[in-house]
Amino acid sequence: MSPAAAGALERFLDAGKTAIPPLTLLTAVLFYFGYVSARARYEYFGVDVDTIGLGTQEYIMRSPQPLLTPLLVVAAAGLGSVAVRAAVRKRIRTATAVRRLGRVAQGIGLTTLIAGLVLVSGYTFLRDWWLFGLVTPLLIAVGATLVRYGATVRRSPDGAPPFRRSSVVLGYLVLAVSVFWMTATTAQWSGRGLAMADANRLDKLPSVILDTKESLYLRSPGLEETKLPPSEGQTFHYRYRHLRLLIHGKDRMFLVPDRWSASDSTIIVPLDGSVRVQFQFQNQRPQAGR
């Protein structure tokens, strides 16, 4: 990289630090991963998460679940790399052996990095591979780290000048983007897993009785439609049972049948007075004296 380009990159990064406060960046990251997880979760039930009307706070509150595993993995990988580096330093003492180690690390890293870039170039053909979003950034992250580590090890015995700041920043940038990509993939998997867990125990969701003015012609298996007896002042004429509350949006509810089936559909119920909703008790009967 030319000195002019390196200087431009450094100025851009310094400007970014000033323009984006850490708290704002953290909020944006939490929001993004909460959104990715929620989108995958409710997409399983045929719902576009944007139609629910969740706010920033709701998405941020949903982010710890998908972020827990990646954070633990990154922390474990960091501790493991420190332990490995200490063990290597303890066993390898000569400059020749250190240089050989650096060359091996760079060779493995370069091969791994190229493999990741090949997968990226084949995105059109490999995008449906369910492990693509995890394996590809993992190869790029590991490859970039090994190349950077190997170069550092090879320079240290000779007292060579340190890397240019721009090259170091680019290395960390590649690593950060790769980790971000992997975390987004695990957030999608987390959301999908939560959706399947919900579908496996729909009976644990709040039970809803829905009264409507007109027949909804619902055909999901297990739903029960009852015509209410006519009475003076009665505006609701149909009652539906065996519904469960999937999620409550800003001004609407999303209901699903209490038994999962591939032919089921999610019902959107507006909270505008056109329907009447009752929630049934689900708790265990309280015991006397408690």
List the chain pLDDT tens, one digit each, 290 residues.
Answer: 555 555 554 555 555 555 456 777 788 888 999 999 999 999 999 999 999 988 888 998 988 888 887 788 878 877 877 777 777 677 776 667 777 777 888 888 889 888 888 888 887 788 778 788 888 888 888 888 888 877 777 665 544 444 555 566 677 777 788 888 888 888 999 999 999 999 999 988 999 999 999 988 888 888 889 999 888 878 899 999 999 999 998 889 999 998 888 888 899 999 888 899 999 886 667 676 55
**Residue 239 phi, psi dihedral angles, 5° rounding:** -125, 135
* CB contact at 8 A, 210 and 275: yes
Q: Which amino acid is at 117?
A: L
Give pairs for 260-265: CB < 8 Å, separation 24+.
260/199, 260/200, 260/202, 261/220, 261/221, 261/222, 263/219, 263/220, 263/221, 264/220, 264/221, 265/46, 265/220
Cβ neighbours for 258, distance < 8 A, ≥ 6 positions apart: 202, 203, 205, 207, 222, 242, 243, 244
Three-state DSSP state, 251 = coil
Which residues partner with 247 through β-bridges? Answer: 254
The whole-model pTM stands at: 0.71
Tokens of 53: 């009307």
The whole-angstrom separation of Cα 40 and Cα 47 is 9
Q: How far is CA 78 from CA 71, 134, 136, 163, 251, in A?
A: 11, 18, 20, 22, 45
Which residues partner with 217 through β-bridges? Answer: none
The whole-angstrom separation of Cα 258 and Cα 282 is 13
